[in-house]
Structure 1
Amino acid sequence: MILTVTPNPSLDRTYEVPALERGEVIRATGERMDPGGKGVNVSRAVTAAGRRSVAVLPLGGAPGALIAELLDAQGIEVVPVPVAGATRSNIALAEADGVLTKINAPGPLLSAEERELLFDTVRRQSRDADWIACCGSLPRGLAPSWYADLVARAHAEGARIALDTSGPALLEALRERPDVVKPNAEELAQAVGRPLATVGDALKAAEELRERGARAVLASLGADGQLLVEGAGTWFGSARVDAVRSNVGAGDSSLAGFLIAGGSGPRALASAIAHGAAAVGLPGSVMPAPADLNPAAVTVTDRVPLDRELTEPVS
């Protein structure tokens, strides 16, 4: 079982539009409403793969009730932590050429009592978990050290932690040695404080995160592929994608694929890449099922192309 923790979940509305024109009335060609948040998406992807996932998330107000209802309809076990504030609602505008514009609300303000209830709920639910995936931004009321505290408490219970967050929350958590962290290229550059222009730059940045405490780094480089850097070795992989429809939740799908394949080594990296590639070909934040995967399109090697320039360098 994979337990997910999403401190700042959302109700996501995605509109497909021909093109985004500022100041104009735009008629959507399609729309979806999905439960959102990085950890929620990981749970959805794990469940779509036929595996069990339990989602712990603070929920409040009408949006929170709707999220629980939508997740329940998808067969995901939800363990809500009741909060006084309303769960946030986010909007995504997906253009026909694959460009995505997102508007994310800040989320509710959690009280000290709600923060401790969230900690306690994770502790109780983690007893049967193979992995705990802690994902996403922190809502108001949770300090940047919150993830670090959660990693420390989970490790004390013998649990393995996958962490997908950014900024101060990521840097604070490194000192508690999360088992794997999953930054994208922008988050990786932010963490080390320098630009990334090549795959070699990304590798050096990932190695630095390991030096700071991460036991493994699964770094997503967008269309260029993914890097896995861990104690047993380093691997690089990519996949052919015929058409990009939406990249919402693609990184979350990758993390799910990585964890359900064991969470280490080239086989897990190949699974991560296959799941991420399948996700970008689906509308909105739809998570891929096994039938959507194309493992034959995935290549993984231990010969990292250090000099390869990134398609989208990060400054």
Structure 2
Amino acid sequence: MKGYITLTDASLRDGNHAVHHQLKIRQIVRYAQAADEAGIDIVEVGHGNGLGASSCQQGKAASTDVMMLASVRAILGHSKLGIHFMPGLGKISDIEVALEAGVDVFRLASHCTEANITRQFIEYVRHAAKTAYGVLMMSHMADAGEILKQSRLMQSYGAHAIVLMDSAGFSTPDLVKEKVERLIDGLSIPVGYHAHNNLGLAVANSIAAAESGATLLDACVCGFGAGAGNTQLETLVPVLERYGYRTGTSFERTVRLARGADKVLPIRTPHIAIDNISSGVFGLFSGYVPHIERLASELKIDSFELCQALAHRKLVAGQEDVIVEEAYRLAARNA
């Protein structure tokens, strides 16, 4: 047998993207309890864009951060409670709320070239004696050398681990291998990977990460997540078992979890839609797809052309205003 893989189930955070952040407390609690019983290591909860992100621009969540976190904290026995946090969308006061609610694992994220903005938050969480992961989003937008440089910054701030997010679903196993191996060789802390399925490669990329030395992997039940969805938990676990890795759960337990989840969460997992494939090909944040589809419909423009235009702008997470700008520019050009 190979080593142990720590699994983070992001269904109640990344999955919130898929329903415009409208998961209700009863849905969140029922799924969290089932995930806990299934032996999942970390259950991540919150608005799709993380702690403090509920807003008119990012989308108003159906429930407050404190309601979601406190409700889940009350029922978790085995699993740790995790959150995602992006400086600028969230503030220190939001982290204080999470600490009071009993959050165990804080995943403190930045764009893959802006790790410096996480320093005060990583240090704050460490001072509170909680687990702090440094997260580099849109990791396809920097080469392995730059990713290592940014990861070392997070490590120097006190991060317990580094998680690479393939936020656009752009990566292929060879790219994953190159970056994860560079981090394994250049860091003294564990490395994790968070994949999206825009190109149908989420499980393959997750396995490539594990084979390259990553010991933390993210997944969502039935792939429930932004855009084309995330690594499918109940698919990933048996593949990990086949490769000889140990986890806190099993294929049988994740099957039960997935069957029950379908009765709790509004999961839709059809074929990968063209706009989601386009976002993967062009390296666009998966959470942008609903905005692209809406504007294309409203303005009678081609969503593929809009994706092409946005790719030239090299957007990062949080730049929804640029989508609107480019959409209206296309509409004016085609008028």
TM range (shorter): 0.3 to 0.5
Larger helix percent: 2
TM-score (norm 2): 0.38
TM-score (norm 1): 0.40
Larger strand percent: 1
